[in-house]
């Protein structure tokens, strides 16, 4: 009786290594896509969170406008005023940065738009609020619209403010 030795040959071992390498390569492409998607969504959420925080700050500060005489500029892309504590505040867009005076509130901003409404809830200027307000005493509500672009996607955030002293 002759016993055959059982084992694996070198060719079988190489074939198994090649099959495992192909499976690892294919699965790593899917894992890379998932990681890239996670990075993209995390970055986008950070950008939107930053702009929401900036918008919240703008709301708080615009509510504190001293009176209609303290408004210096009320245009479609800039709002400058003096608050109840005698601080001069200017919100505007510089490049892709939303600015408060010389301080950057948020980045990746592609558009900043202010629209002013009077006590009858009518726009203080037309069309589409694309003009400057000449009579600041007519302002009772301000709508702020910020457009953010991140990773080729655009998000628009809007809010409205009712200044307390107007």
Residue 118 has pLDDT above 50, yes or no: yes
Q: What is the pLDDT of residue 122?
A: 80
pTM: 0.71
More confident residue, 11 or 37: 11
Residue 131's pLDDT is 54
| pLDDT (tens digit per residue) in 48-98 | 888 999 999 999 999 999 988 889 888 888 999 999 999 999 999 999 999
Checking DSSP bridges between strand 71-74 and strand 78-82, what pairing results, if any?
Answer: antiparallel
* Contact criterion met (CB below 8 Å) for 83 and 72: no
pLDDT of residue 78: 92
Transcribe 5-62 into DSSP letters.
PP---HHHHHHHHHHHHHHHHHHHHHHHHHHHHHHHHHHHHHHHHHHHHHHHHHHHHH
pLDDT-based confidence at 127, cuts 50/70/90? very low
Contacts of residue 69, defined as CB under 8 A and 6 or more positions apart, other chains included, come to 136
């Amino acid at each position: 009786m002759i016993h055959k030795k059982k084992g694996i040959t070198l060719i079988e071992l190489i074939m198994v290594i090649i099959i495992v390498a192909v499976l690892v390569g294919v699965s790593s492409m899917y894992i890379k896509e998932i990681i890239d998607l996670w990075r993209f969504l995390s970055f986008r959420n950070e950008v939107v969170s930053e702009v929401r925080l900036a918008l919240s700050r703008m709301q708080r500060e615009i509510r504190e406008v001293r009176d209609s005489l303290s408004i210096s500029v009320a245009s479609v892309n800039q709002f400058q005023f003096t608050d109840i504590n005698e601080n001069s505040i200017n919100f505007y867009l510089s490049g892709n940065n939303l600015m408060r005076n010389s301080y950057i509130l948020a980045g990746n901003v592609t558009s900043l738009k202010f629209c002013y409404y009077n006590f009858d809830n009518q726009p203080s200027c037309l069309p589409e609020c694309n003009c400057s307000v000449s009579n600041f005493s007519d302002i009772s509500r301000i709508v702020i619209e910020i457009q953010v672009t991140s990773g080729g996607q655009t998000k628009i955030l809007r809010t409205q403010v009712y200044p307390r002293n107007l």
